[in-house]
Amino acid sequence: MTISQEEPPKQGIDTELEEEADEFPNEVEMTLTEHLEELRSRLLYSLVALTAAVATCFAFVGPIVTILQKPAGETVKFIQTVPGEFFFVSFKVAGYAGFLIAAPVILYHVVRFVLPGLTRKERKFVLPIVVGSSVLFVLGIVFAYFILVPAALNFFISYGANIVAQTWTIERYFDLVFVMLLSTGLVFQLPVLQVMLGVSGIVSSAKMFSVWRYVTLGAVVLGAVITPSTDPITQTFLAAAVTVLFFGGAFTVRFLGK
C-alpha cells in the first residue's frame, strides 16, 4: 500500500510564495503593453506640469530676471548685442526656472513608476532619498546663488576695473549663472549617491573614509572643471563644499550601517 507524500512540497512552495509576496508588497502583475501605457501616462503628467511651470515663469520673467541679476551688483550694465536677444533669453530663463519648479512633480511620477518593482527593504529608503535629494539640490542652488556666483562676479568685476567698463551681454551673463546654479545643485547630490552605494553594499563607510585624500584632490579638480569662471576663490569654495558633502555622506552611511 503506497502512501502519497506530496503535501510537504506543496507547503514549501506556498511558504516561498508568501515570502516573495512579503518581499514585494502590493506587487501588481502587468504586461509589457500595460507598463508602456503607464510610462506614457507618467511622462504626459510630467510634461503637462513642466509646460505649466514654464508658462507661469515666462509670465513673471521680469521679476525672475531681476533676482538673477542681483549678484552682479550695480556696477554692471547689461546690453543686448542683437535684436531680440533678451526675448530669447527670457525663454531660457523661463525654461530653467520652470524645470526647477516642476522637478518635484517629475520626481514623484518617476518614483511612482519604479516603486512596484522595489523590495520592502528598498522602499524604506525611497522617501528619505527623494527628500534628501530635493533638499540638497535646493541647498546647492542657494549656495551657488549667495556664495559662488557673487564670488566669481566680484573677481571679474575687480580684475581690470580701472581699464575696461563693466558692460556685459545679457545672454552670456545668464549662461554663466545657470551653469553655476545647476552644476552646483548636481554636485550637492554626492551624499545621496554615497548613501545609495552604502545601502546596496557596494561601498562601505570605511572604504569611503580611506580615500579621503583622493576625494580632496578630486574636489579641487572638480571645482576647476565645472565652474566656468577661472578665479581661484570660486574653485576653492566649491572644492570645500564637495569635501564637506563627502564626509557628511560617509558619516551617514556609517550611521545607517549601525
Q: For residue range 162-190, what is the model confidence (pLDDT) as tens digits?
A: 788 888 899 999 988 988 898 899 899 99
For the stretch 19-68, pLDDT in tens is 544 555 555 566 778 778 888 999 999 999 999 999 999 999 999 999 99
For the stretch 1-19, pLDDT in tens is 444 455 555 555 555 444 5
**Distance of alpha carbon 72 from alpha carbon 52, whole angstroms:** 30
The Cβ-side half-sphere exposure at 136, using a 13 Å CA radius, reads: 23
For the stretch 209-255, pLDDT in tens is 999 889 888 888 887 777 665 667 788 888 899 999 999 999 999 98
pLDDT of residue 1: 47
Q: Where are the alpha helices (DSSP H) in the chain?
A: 7-23, 32-59, 61-69, 85-114, 120-124, 126-143, 149-158, 170-187, 190-199, 205-210, 212-226, 232-257
Specify the amino acid at residue 163: I
**Distance of alpha carbon 158 from alpha carbon 181, whole angstroms:** 22
Domain coordinates in residue numbering, the chain: 32-257
| Closest by CA position to 124, among listed 190, 41, 200, 214 | 200
Q: What are phi and psi of 183, to 5 degrees?
A: -65, -40
> Do the beta carbons of residue 189 and residue 226 sit within 8 Å?
no
Q: Cα 110 to chain center, whole Å?
A: 14
pLDDT of residue 30: 67
* pLDDT > 80? residue 113: yes
> Do the beta carbons of residue 243 and residue 188 sit within 8 Å?
no
Measured at the CA of 61, the angle between CA 180 and CA 87, to 5 degrees, comes to 90
Please state the rounded mean pLDDT for residues 94-119.
86
pTM listed for this prediction: 0.79
pLDDT of residue 27: 55
> Do the beta carbons of residue 144 and residue 181 sit within 8 Å?
yes
pLDDT of residue 26: 56
Position with higher pLDDT, 148 vs 222: 148
pLDDT of residue 123: 78
| Closest by CA position to 151, among listed 215, 244, 223, 242 | 223
User: Is 54 strand, coil or helix?
Assistant: helix
pLDDT of residue 17: 45
